[in-house]
Amino acid sequence: MKAEDVKVFGVVGAGQMGHGIAQVAAMSGLKVILNDIKMELAQRGYDNIAKILSRNVDKGKMTVEEKEAVLSKIELSSDLKDMASADYVVEAATENEQIKFQIFRDLDEICPEHTILATNTSSIPIGRIAAQTKRPDRVIGMHFMNPVPVMKLVEVIRALTTSDETFQVTWDLALKFGKTPAEASDYPGFIANRILMPMINEAIYCLYEGVGTREAIDTVMKLGMNHPMGPLALADLIGLDTCLAIMETLYEGFKDPKYRPCPLLRRYVEAGWLGRKTGKGFYEYE
C-alpha cells in the first residue's frame, strides 16, 4: 500500500487533537470518518472544525465554497464499526493506556487486513499498543502537535514490529497534510515530550518551591529563552491531566527520579483544575 491508496481516513476521538487531525485530513482531500463514543461529542468536534474554517474565510485564507467542500468530506460516527471502510485510522483518545489498548483490539477486529492503525499517543510506547493486535507490522505512532492545523511537526514513531511500508505510508501522509515529519525511536515520550514535559514539570517545581510566581516563570522562558508561550501557560493549554499522564509514563518507563511528577501538578489534577478545558489551571480562563 502507498499513501495514494488511502482514500478513507478514520479518526477515533473528536476532542482537541482528534478534530484537528480530521480537519487537516479533509483539507488534503481525503474522506474522513470522525468517531467518538457519543454522537454529540463527534458533532462538537465537527462544529469546532466549522468554526476554525469560518475564521479562515473571514481572514481571506479560503473561500466559502472551499470551506463547504472540506466539511462535506467529514462523516460523523459514534460506532467504531464504521471504521470497517477506513484505509488508515488514527486513534486520538484520552492518554490512558487501557483505553487505547481496548480501542486497538476493537479496531483490529473491525478493520480490513490492509488498514494501518496509528496512534496519536503523546508518550505510550508504540510496541505495547501494537502487541494488542494481530497486525503489529501495521501499527505506528503518528504524533501531531497542538493545535494540529497550525503546528507543522508530526513525530513518526515505529515499533520494532512496524513494517517499512507502514512507515513510508505514514511519512507520506504527513507530507500530504502539509506537515514536516520527524522520525523518533519507540521510547516513552519519544523526542518531543521527553524534552518538553520534564521542562514543564521543572517549571511547576519552581512554582511549588517558591522560586518565582507563575508570571515570572513564564516571562523568563518567553523573553529569556524566546519561547512563544511560557511553560505554565503551555501546560494549561495541553491539559494538566495529560501532562501528569505523560510524566507518569516517563517515570514508569525509565524508573529515573528526574521524571517524578511534581506534587503540585498532581494536586491540581486531583482538584479538577486541568487548565483551559476546565477554566482553571495555573491561570484562570473564561
Beta-carbon neighbour count of residue 111 at 10 Å? Answer: 24
Name the grid cell of 28: 488534503
Answer whether 251's CB lies under 8 Å from 284's CB. no
Question: Which residues, at least 6 apart from 261, have a Cβ–Cβ distance to it below 8 Å?
Answer: 201, 244, 247, 248, 251
* Opening angle at CA 38, ends 34 and 42, nearest 5: 30
Look up 193 and say whether it is catalytic: yes
Q: Which of 193, 226, 252, 286 is catalytic?
A: 193
**From the annotation, which residues make up the binding site for NAD(+)?**
13-18, 36, 95, 100, 122, 146, 277
Q: What separation in angstroms does the CA of 156 have from each of 22, 100, 184, 192?
A: 17, 18, 6, 11
Tell me, yes or no, if 122 is annotated catalytic.
yes
- Which of the following is catalytic: 19, 75, 77, 143? 143
Set 35, 91, 123, 155: catalytic member: 155
- Sheet of strand 8-12: strand arrangement: 74-77, 31-35, 8-12, 88-91, 116-119, 139-144, 153-158, 180-184
Catalytic residue among 48, 122, 123, 201: 122
First to last CA, the chain: 47
- Is 123 among the residues known to form the active site? no
143 is catalytic: yes
Residues 6+ apart with CB under 8 A from 108: 117, 132, 133, 134, 135
**Residues placed in the known binding site:** 13-18, 36, 95, 100, 122, 146, 277
* Catalytic site positions: 122, 143, 155, 193
